[in-house]
Amino acid sequence: MATKIKFGTSGWRAIIADEFTFANVRIASEAIGRYITRHRPTGATALVGFDTRFASDQFALQAARVLTSHGIRTLLCDRAVPTPAVAWTIIQRHLDGAINMTASHNPGEYNGLKFSTSDGAPALPEVTSEIEREIESLQSSNWEFTAQPKDSLIESIEIGPAYLADLGTKVDLKKIRDAKLSLAYDALHGSGAGYLDRVLAEAGIPATILHTDRDVYFGGHHPEPAEEQLVELKVLMKKNGVQLGLATDGDADRFGVLDEGAEFIYPNELIAMLVDYLVESRGWKGGVARSVATSHLVDRVAKLHGLELLETPVGFKFIGEYIKDGRIFLGGEESAGLSIRGHVPEKDGILACLLLAEMVAGRRKSLKTQLKELFSRVGPVYNRRLNVRLDPANKDQLKAKLAAEIHEFHGRQVVKVNRMDGLKLIFGDGSWVLMRPSGTEPLVRFYAESTSPEDLATLLEYGKQWLNAQ
């Protein structure tokens, strides 16, 4: 039976040598090549990038060769590249799209293929559905790559310097340098290496740098800038008294931050703090967007400054649409993704880290102090996420529970039900829970938010009980 190549929230991901094979990469690339040439029959140019994973560069070369068989001029990156740099290059060079070989923050046994369209944004569901139908057609006809690639159409390209120079126009690097912040950066063996550390070095900003070497096992960890993956950065910060620790994931589109004392600050909080800072420091007006799973602390900050608040399904591609049309000046999601107006309609962990460093430098206060001050202005908000594993036998039962009308949740009256993406129950005091089943695993992502840590813990416990109840 043929592998089902399905594009999820951010591309197609699978285990290397199981489903993620050269043959399947060629099929997916063939479908993308046909999509590009349908929309631009002649003269198309595409970019192909890759991350630091096992054989990513070889998978990228195969994708490039398939594209050239369609007469598509293909710019092949000369080294591992961050996803946001790929997005920026599409826009700046007016390309017809890009394939990026990356599984982002997934563990090392995975690889992935991400397709971005000519606007630099992750492909929207209507585009990926069209590509998936093409893949199914190719598989049903037992397609194999027999066309003649045109290697003369492949051009090696370095995309880093131009992207980094642009970042320097969007972040006040002088402010960071003048504050003499003690900084550390953990690249987590991902493709942020040679990018964020290079920005800091070229701006004369000293920083201790970790894990910039290529390690396809990612040191035995997930290349995700979550608290549990930043142990070595924590140790270094405590040992050396570092004020601010920055980290990016496998393809540098997500960010993680440790405050002084090596305390992890959650992306939900950082996104809201940045909205407040950008209004204060830039005088920016307009709207802000967040995913349905992201903290309503963002809503409170938007209300404080009279900003329009827009909510989207999970997946940065939906936020990217608002960035493209200039309706918002910042969009963020709780899974550590954000971008700003005038930048790319794609998550950028490098930009996020630099903006947060600028915020600490400009305000001369720790992130924890800034968050406490923000709470004093808009009220405290606490938000966390659990991944709840379920008995696969209960999958249909849970589906029915999530589809049913719900007026009460463990004694709390539900004042609003939001089914934009999963099931979100909002209570009278503004607290809420959200349940989103995984499409690929017997797993439910359960989000909860409240105005006190104690009540948040109660909601999280209720969630586990509710999801696992027969």
Q: Contact, 333 vs 293, CB < 8 A?
A: yes
**What is the residue-wise DSSP string for 288-349?**
EEEETTS-THHHHHHHHHT-EEEEE-SSHHHHHHHHHTTSEEEEEETTTEEEETTS-SS--H
Helix (H, G, I), strand (E, B) or coil at 40: coil
Q: HSE (CB half, 13 Å, CA atoms) of 110?
A: 17
Give the model's pLDDT for residue 470. Answer: 55
Q: How many residues does the chain have?
A: 470
Query: pLDDT of 272-283, one tens digit each?
Result: 999 999 999 999
Pairing of strands 432-437, 45-50: unpaired
Query: pLDDT of 137-180, one tens digit each?
Result: 999 999 999 999 999 999 999 999 999 999 999 999 999 999 99
Q: Contact, 287 vs 310, CB < 8 A?
A: yes
The answer for residues whose C-beta is within 8 angstroms of residue 33's C-beta and 6 or more apart is 66, 67, 69, 70, 72
Give the model's pLDDT for residue 468. Answer: 78
Measuring CA to CA, how many Å separate 395 from each of 45, 441, 470? 44, 10, 11
Q: Output the six-digit token pair for 417.
A: 């039900």
Determine phi and psi for 70, rounding to 5 degrees: -95, 5
DSSP E strands, 162-218: 183-186, 207-210
Tell me which amino acid residue 258 is: L
Give the ranges where 40-148 is alpha helix by DSSP (H): 56-68, 83-92, 125-140
Query: pLDDT of 167-220, one tens digit each?
Result: 999 999 999 999 999 999 999 999 999 999 999 999 999 999 999 999 999 999
Q: Output the six-digit token pair for 415.
A: 């004042």
Share of the chain above pLDDT 90, in %: 90
Domains, the chain, ranges and CATH? Answer: 12-159 (3.40.120.10), 168-378 (3.40.120.10), 382-468 (3.30.310.50)
Give the model's pLDDT for residue 467. Answer: 85
